Amino acid sequence: MPILKIPTPLRPYADGQGSITAPGKNVSEVLEFTLEQYPHLKKHLLSDDQQLRPFVNVFLGEENIKELQGIETPLKEDDILLIIPSIAGG
């Protein structure tokens, strides 16, 4: 099953988990499973229209899924997804 890596700032919303093994044939299914298990993550990842928030990036290997097929990007059994929130400051 694919693995979804959770960044440190979001781990409190995933019961402290650093990675989640989630069934799914595409990114959308993995996210859906993850958000069912950890509903507190939802507001940090999805907007009101159920799309990834603009500042949330999900990478499949070194490729941002926004550059692939978005949340419909197909996955293989051993794929690793990384959630990388944008960081701003000044």
Q: What is the pLDDT of residues 3-48, one digit of tens each?
A: 999 999 999 999 999 999 999 999 999 999 999 999 999 999 999 9
Task: Report how far Cα 78 is from the mean position of its chain's Cα atoms.
Answer: 15
Residue 70: pLDDT over 70? yes
Residue 28's H or E segment, with its range, is helix 27-37
Q: What is the structure's pLDDT at 14?
A: 97
Return the SS3 of 66.
helix
Burial 70-82 (b: 16+ CB within 10 A, else e): ebebebeeebebb
pTM: 0.89
State whether the Cα torsion 23-29-33-38 is positive or negative: positive
Q: What is the structure's pLDDT at 85?
A: 82
Fold type of domain 3-85: Ubiquitin-like (UB roll) (3.10.20)
Residue 49 structure tokens: 């229209």
